[in-house]
Amino acid sequence: MKGITIFYFSGTGNSFYVARKIAERMEGELIPIVLLDNSENIELSTEITGIVYPDYHSSLPNIVKRFINRLVGLEGKYIFGVCTYAGAGPGLAITYLRELIELKGGNLAAGFAVRMPYNYIVPTFKFGNPIIQVKLKPDSKELKRKKFLECENSLKEIVDYVEQRRTGIFESSGELLLKIIDKLRLKDSLGTYMWMRIAGYSGETYEEFSENWPLMDHGFLVDDTCTSCRTCERVCPVNNIIMKENKPSWKHECEQCFACLQWCPQSAIQFGNYTRLDQRYHHPEVDVSDLFLDERISNEFQIKLHLSSSYG
């Protein structure tokens, strides 16, 4: 048992870039979590395992949770996590990863947070308007430049820390407030109510906040500038998009990665009625083909062999 494996999940390329750089600098193997989403048991087969993912509402994407729940044989392994985030901090995204790994009988040796450009939506409120509007939140060129520089510094620190097998760093932010919010289940009540309204979902739902995220694709729309290029269908990490009459249609199994909206070459995909003029974002050093699910399945033959022999 030797080497390092970096598992990652990414929609707009931020987490993919971080994972790729760590794998390159440590001469490790890079494996997309999406290729393991139908696996039953995933056994870690290298000395070091990294898990790279974006912060979703101060927590983990659902696909990453499913991945962690399928891991076996974690005892005695050096496992580290890297969370990418855009705002003031990563919240409890590393804390939740640590708890999930402990439930599987392992220990998270370290957890890092890397700040990257914003790629999601934010609610906007107008006095006297009962409809909650949303806008994409692009960073300025100056802020992007600053974040990319911070990222490179963070990557060096992460690689140095992991190569020395050090333990004990677990980055978080707003821990006390977020734990109070969780204890009062405010995300499951107020959070679900607000975000379901934002997405235009009018049905009943009694699930936990994160379990409602797949329904938020009710908010996606496609306008007349769509050229039926199928970029959205191919970049969706969970096959949630199918083409109907040459236009994308969402199946309500969404991960909320916003890859479809951010990578659309015509900016034809909207979230609600207010994002048409908003600036799109994807990592400038990542090509959309890097995230195409069909490309990864057809071209990464060695990974497929590795998955079938090592990960069940």
Tell me if 128 is assigned to some domain: no
Same structural domain for residues 69 and 162?
Answer: yes
Helix (H) or strand (E) holding 309: helix 301-310
- In the predicted structure, residue 111 carries a pLDDT above the cut 70: yes
Report helix, strand or coil for 224: coil
Reported pTM: 0.92
**Tokens linked to 221:** 């729309």
pLDDT tens for each residue of 140-174: 999 999 999 999 999 999 999 999 999 999 999 99
In whole angstroms, how far apart are CA 281 and each of 95, 262, 288, 298?
28, 6, 12, 27
Cβ-based neighbours of 310, under 8 Å, separated by 6 or more: 43, 45
- In the predicted structure, residue 31 carries a pLDDT above the cut 50: yes
Q: What is the CATH number of the domain that holds 48?
A: 3.40.50.360
Q: Tell me what the mean pLDDT of segment 186-191 comes to.
A: 87
> Could you tell me the residue range of the domain that residue 49 belongs to?
4-116+140-175+301-310
Q: Which residue has the higher pLDDT, 9 or 3?
A: 9
Averaged pLDDT score across all residues of the chain: 91
Q: What is the CATH number of the domain that holds 215?
A: 3.30.70.20
Same structural domain for residues 44 and 62?
Answer: yes
- Which range of 14-23, 167-176, 180-189, 302-311 scores highest in mean pLDDT? It is 14-23
For the chain, give the percent of residues with pLDDT over 90: 74
Instruction: Pick the closest to residue 9 from 79, 82, 70 (CA basis).
Output: 82
**Tokens linked to 112:** 């890092």
Q: Tell me what the mean pLDDT of segment 229-243 comes to.
A: 96
**Number of domains into which the chain is organized:** 2
- In the predicted structure, residue 118 carries a pLDDT above the cut 90: yes
Tell me if 266 is assigned to some domain: yes
Same structural domain for residues 90 and 199?
Answer: no
Tell me if 80 is assigned to some domain: yes
Question: In this predicted structure, which of 3-7, 38-42, 79-83, 229-233 has the lowest mean pLDDT?
Answer: 38-42
Same structural domain for residues 58 and 90?
Answer: yes
